[in-house]
Structure 1
Amino acid sequence: MELRQLIYFLEAAKYKNFTKASESLHISQPALSKMIKSLEEELGITLINRSNKTSEVTDGGLIVLEYAERILSLVEEMQTTLEDLTSLKRGSISIGIPPIIGSLYFPKVMAEFHKEYPNISINITEYGGAKVVKSVEKGEFEVGVAVLPVDEEVFHVYPIVEDEMKLLININHPLAKRDRIHLKELKNEEFIFYHEDFALHDIMWKKFIQEGFEPKILFKSSQWDLMSEMVGANLGITILPESICERVENKHVKIISLEPVTPWNLGVITKKDKYISYATKRFIEFFTD
């Protein structure tokens, strides 16, 4: 069965006259009659009783008429919905964001995006950076924000932030008078560290191993503000990205540069060879412009 058969049948039923219906459809009357006949043969039922003056829809034809109207209405609705999607009048985005950075960059961007595209819903899930990468790879999210580098054979990467790690230390700590500290000098310090599912955990852990020691972990947290407050209370030291350090307002905390410099770069990632919605594509463009 073809949609065109249903369209022709609806027109014939509307006019109850094959001549008028064929004129409306801009086809010949024999072509219309042939199309209706083929539909009747396919369904095994007479749809229209033909006479010289009028063409009346049969009982069976009325049932087909009802369904044909619903089918064509759904097709029209589908076309409208697709048009809305491509013109970004509707849609949804699923995104994974590490909580330690979500509050830094996203509120302003989200507000601006929502203002421009108010009917697109944004579903945000906060995961540690390492878990965000795995979730995008598995298809749980269309898009994620990750600490770079990631495997560019698996992901499309759109860089958004270039930063570096800094040391947060209590102002009464013996090292607080310094402006720059080497990682090796932190061997005997107690750290307020990140949970294992955070990309920062692996990045800094590997750095310490390269310097010949494992850090002594006193506490673990996923909240940068809590971590900095614990430093302010002289419970240990921590290492955070510079852009986060700029938000620390605790007067008991000093921020010190580290050697060697450890970059902290962020990017928006999507999985290669995976369909990305129109809304998500625009969000990536919006965020990386």
Structure 2
Amino acid sequence: MDQQLAVFIAVAEKKNFSRAAEELHMTQPAVSQYIQAFEREVGTRLLERTNKYVKLNKAGEVVYDHAKEIIGLYTKMQRLVDDLTNKTSGPLAIGASYTFGEYILPHVIANMLEDHPLVTPTISIGNTRDIAELVSKHQMDVGIVEGDFQHDKLVIEPFAEDNMFIVAAPDHRLAKMKKVIPQDLEEERWIVREVGSGTRKAADNMFESLKISPEHLMEFGSIQLIKESVEAGLGISLLSQWAINKELSAGTLKKVQVDALPFTRKFSIVTSSPYRTKALDTFLEFVRKVSSEGA
């Protein structure tokens, strides 16, 4: 069954029998036989086939989603059994939201691999909602997310606090003011992340706490793009201290002086199972050091 699932997933993702066969180091007829046998076992056709493409039908979409989860659980089971006799090693699929993933995680991974070089991490960066969803479906071993996050299927462990500040270009009018009031902020153009991002959630919470409703919002999908845009004078933004340290030191961004800031949020570890590999436990030890060491 596990081989059938692997072949089905490859065909679904490659949308082509030949490319799937090449990836699996199989012949195309063998791939076709596996798919036919799998469809007989499931009891219905899962793929629409034409001369130009292969794609999932409605039943195929349901099976594909669950097949990915089953393979993820099976792989985790094998790694847990291997851990009983082996050293800390093996693959580790890590997901992280943008702030932690781009500005903190590389240092965590470097420190871990210095002591445990047999661990082979893969990293995916996305917004908080997407990372949590992948962890809940066992397609990632662990996620690091931002804000006051809740999820029925996940174990959530807050482990560090993040101070956030409003920033502007050095020549922006707000950057030159000794004290800024909420009304001043409300009139500005804000550059924010997309809905589902922890950074966007923090901005929305701050707006609510300051009792302001800015009318001019621009949504960008990257913290680096937001920083570049703020530096160019396009608007202001609420960003993590960790994300703006270099720019503050270089003087290319300035903090806006508001009494209510810094705005504080949490970073949390999310996992989907109480069973953890040695590689995952080791990674979590290094992540938790962030809280004691600070930025």
TM-score scaled by structure 1?
Answer: 0.63
CA offsets 1:158-192 (integer angstroms, 9 cap, x no match): 44432221111122222222345344431111011
- CA change 1:179–1:146 in 2 (3 A) is farther
Q: Which residue of 2 aligns with 1:107?
A: 106
In the alignment, the residues of structure 2 paired with residue 234 and residue 207 of structure 1 have an alpha-carbon distance, to the nearest angstrom, of 22
Secondary structure at the residue paired with 2:228?
helix
CA offsets 1:57-106 (integer angstroms, 9 cap, x no match): xxxxxxxxxxxxxxxxxxxxxx9x95566533532111111123323212
Q: Which residue of 2 aligns with 1:29?
A: none
In the alignment, the residues of structure 2 paired with residue 197 and residue 96 of structure 1 have an alpha-carbon distance, to the nearest angstrom, of 15
User: What does 1:150-165 align with in structure 2 at a 5 Å threshold?
Assistant: 150-151=149-150, 154-165=153-164
User: What does 1:188-207 align with in structure 2 at a 5 Å threshold?
Assistant: 188-207=187-206
In the alignment, the residues of structure 1 paired with residue 216 and residue 142 of structure 2 have an alpha-carbon distance, to the nearest angstrom, of 32
In the alignment, the residues of structure 1 paired with residue 151 and residue 219 of structure 2 have an alpha-carbon distance, to the nearest angstrom, of 30
- CA change 1:86–1:208 in 2 (3 A) is farther
Q: CA RMSD in A?
A: 2.9
Q: Which residue of 2 aligns with 1:122?
A: 121
1:208 aligns with 2:207: yes
Q: Which residue of 1 aligns with 2:282?
A: 282
- The one-letter amino acid of 1:277's match is T
Q: Percent identity over the alignment?
A: 22
Q: Which residue of 2 aligns with 1:265?
A: 266
Contact 2:180 2:258 in 1 (8 A): yes
In the alignment, the residues of structure 2 paired with residue 207 and residue 113 of structure 1 have an alpha-carbon distance, to the nearest angstrom, of 35
| Structure 1 segments of 4+ aligned residues over 6 angstroms from their partners | none
Q: Which residue of 1 aligns with 2:254?
A: 254
- The one-letter amino acid of 1:87's match is N
In the alignment, the residues of structure 1 paired with residue 287 and residue 180 of structure 2 have an alpha-carbon distance, to the nearest angstrom, of 35
CA offsets 1:240-274 (integer angstroms, 9 cap, x no match): 01222212156343112444332122122213x45
**Distance apart, 1:122 and its partner CA:** 0.7
Which structure has more strand as a fraction of its residues?
1
Q: Single out whichever of 111-120 and 175-184 deviates more from structure 2.
A: 175-184
Secondary structure at the residue paired with 1:248?
helix
**Distance apart, 1:153 and its partner CA:** 6.4
Structure 2 gap segments, 5+ residues each: 1-77, 290-295
In the alignment, the residues of structure 2 paired with residue 179 and residue 130 of structure 1 have an alpha-carbon distance, to the nearest angstrom, of 37
- CA change 1:213–1:93 in 2 (3 A) is same
1:172 aligns with 2:168: no
In the alignment, the residues of structure 2 paired with residue 132 and residue 210 of structure 1 have an alpha-carbon distance, to the nearest angstrom, of 27
Contact 2:100 2:144 in 1 (8 A): no
- CA change 1:277–1:184 in 2 (3 A) is farther
Contact 2:104 2:242 in 1 (8 A): no
Residue correspondences, number: 210
**Distance apart, 1:218 and its partner CA:** 4.7
CA offsets 1:203-252 (integer angstroms, 9 cap, x no match): 21233245444333453223333222212211111110122221215634
- The one-letter amino acid of 2:128's match is G
In the alignment, the residues of structure 2 paired with residue 87 and residue 219 of structure 1 have an alpha-carbon distance, to the nearest angstrom, of 50
Q: Which residue of 1 aligns with 2:237?
A: 238
In the alignment, the residues of structure 2 paired with residue 101 and residue 151 of structure 1 have an alpha-carbon distance, to the nearest angstrom, of 18
